[in-house]
Structures are given as structure tokens and as C-alpha cells.
């Protein structure tokens, strides 16, 4: 496409300003873009070779190495888009921290009852990612939302046992996760509220989600603004 001045350009240019400065600017931008595309592999090489080793606590050097190679990748592990193409992008870009790779906001895509199946898919995808790059950290998230769909999901015995609670044969209880005062009830729509993290049932739900996502998503978990 040529860089000639169109009637649309004439409408945008202030009075007295010719098209030549605009053409010079675009020429410079195109030249800069070509230079960056040529130079990025050389710039990226030292970062790619950064230190990503840690056992337990992470040094500031390692933290900065990961942060310099971070990317938000919502729903990466749970079936959104072309996973193989997304994996190609991650490895080609040298991503080392994939944020929000497991993401759940309320009752989308089947809500809480669909979680076990989604997490099985996540587990399989994590194996593929770590086969390509074992240093890549994947982040799972739980946020300041809980919906009535949790009423359809069974509480596993290990969740009760881990929190020192008597084992019961029952499902999660939405009404025991929300604020008793009604604060933030239906904040996100009818039947979707901000959970009260001080309540035992909310702690049970968060612990369940934390454990189930830590196995596939491995090394990073965030509770958003819930904490």
C-alpha cells in the first residue's frame, strides 16, 4: 500500500500541514519496525539464558528473570483456542511465566460441576508444556466470586481431613460461603456473590480449588482480590 495522502488524511491533517512530514514519519516507523524485528533475537538471547533455577524460595535474580519473560495467558490450559499453536507461541517467545493459565470466574462453561473435567484437560496440557520447557511456571487463579453452582459439586473426603473437619457425604454449600450480613450478595449477578473468606465453607472451597489446580498448574497460585 502506498503512502500517498488520501482524502481521509486531508481531513485529519491540521490546516497548513503538508503530507510530507507524515510520509517521513511513517517511513521512519517502518524502518524502526524492520530494525527491531532484526535485532530482537539478539536482544532476547541474554534474557532467554537467564537463571530460572530455584528450590523453595526464589532469589531476586531468578524472580527478575521470570518477570522479564511473563505473559497473561487466560484459559491456556482449559481448552480455549488452539493449544498446540499457543504452545508454539510460548516457546518461540521464550515465555517463562504464564499468568492465569487456569482461570475460573463464576459459572461460565458449566460452572463448578465442570471443574473436574476441565482440570483433567489442564493436567494433560501441563505435561505437554513442561515437556517443551520444564522451567515454565503456570499460574492458576481463584477470584472474588462464588456462585450457586458450587451446590452441585461434591466435597471430597481429603478436603475435610486436611482442614481437620469431620468427613461428610455432601456437596459444597453456597449459602455458607457468602457474607451472613448480605454484604456483596449477588454482586456479580443473581446467585453470584463475593465470598466471605473468614467462613469455614469458603476456606473448604478455596482449599479444594488450590489443591486441584496445584497438581496440574504446579507452581503459582493467586486468589486475586479475595485475600
pLDDT at 212: 85
CA 118 centroid distance within chain: 15
- Domain ranges in the chain are 7-42, 58-222
Rounded Cα distance, 62 and 50, in Å: 8
Long-range contacts of the stretch 193-196 (C-beta < 8 A, 24+): 193/145, 193/146, 193/147, 194/144, 194/145, 194/146, 194/226, 195/144, 195/145, 195/146, 195/226
pLDDT (tens digit per residue) in 19-59: 455 566 656 665 665 565 555 444 444 444 678 999 889 99
How high is the pLDDT of residue 103?
A: 85
pLDDT given at position 222:
52
pTM of the model: 0.69
pLDDT the model gives residue 9: 42
pLDDT beneath 50, residues of the chain: 1-19, 40-48, 216-218, 221
> Which pLDDT value is given to residue 141?
87
pLDDT of residue 113: 72
Give the tens place of pLDDT for each residue, 188-202.
Answer: 999 999 999 999 999
pLDDT of residue 114: 79
SS3 70: strand
Residue-level pLDDT at 94: 95
Amino acid at each position: 500500500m502506498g503512502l500517498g495522502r488520501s482524502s481521509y488524511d486531508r481531513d485529519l491533517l491540521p490546516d497548513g500541514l503538508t503530507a510530507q512530514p507524515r510520509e517521513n514519519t511513517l517511513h521512519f516507523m517502518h524502518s524502526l519496525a524492520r530494525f527491531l524485528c532484526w535485532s530482537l533475537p539478539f536482544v532476547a538471547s541474554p534474557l532467554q539464558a537467564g537463571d530460572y533455577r530455584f528450590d523453595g524460595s526464589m532469589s531476586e535474580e531468578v524472580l527478575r528473570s521470570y518477570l522479564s519473560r511473563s505473559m497473561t495467558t487466560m484459559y491456556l490450559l482449559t481448552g480455549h483456542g488452539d493449544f498446540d499453536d499457543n504452545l508454539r507461541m510460548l516457546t518461540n517467545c521464550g515465555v517463562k511465566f504464564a499468568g492465569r493459565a487456569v482461570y475460573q470466574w463464576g459459572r461460565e462453561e458449566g460452572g463448578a460441576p465442570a471443574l473436574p473435567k476441565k482440570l483433567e484437560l489442564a493436567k494433560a496440557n501441563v505435561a505437554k508444556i513442561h515437556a517443551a520447557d520444564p522451567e515454565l511456571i503456570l499460574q492458576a487463579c481463584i477470584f472474588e466470586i462464588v456462585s450457586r453452582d458450587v451446590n452441585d459439586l461434591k466435597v471430597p473426603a481429603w478436603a475435610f481431613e486436611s482442614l481437620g473437619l469431620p468427613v461428610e457425604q455432601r456437596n459444597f454449600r453456597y449459602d455458607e460461603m457468602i457474607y451472613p450480613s448480605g454484604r456483596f450478595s449477588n454482586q456479580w449477578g443473581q446467585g453470584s456473590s463475593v465470598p466471605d473468606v473468614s467462613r469455614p465453607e469458603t476456606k473448604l472451597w478455596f482449599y479444594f480449588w488450590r489443591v486441584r489446580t496445584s497438581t496440574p498448574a504446579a507452581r503459582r497460585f493467586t486468589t486475586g482480590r479475595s485475600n
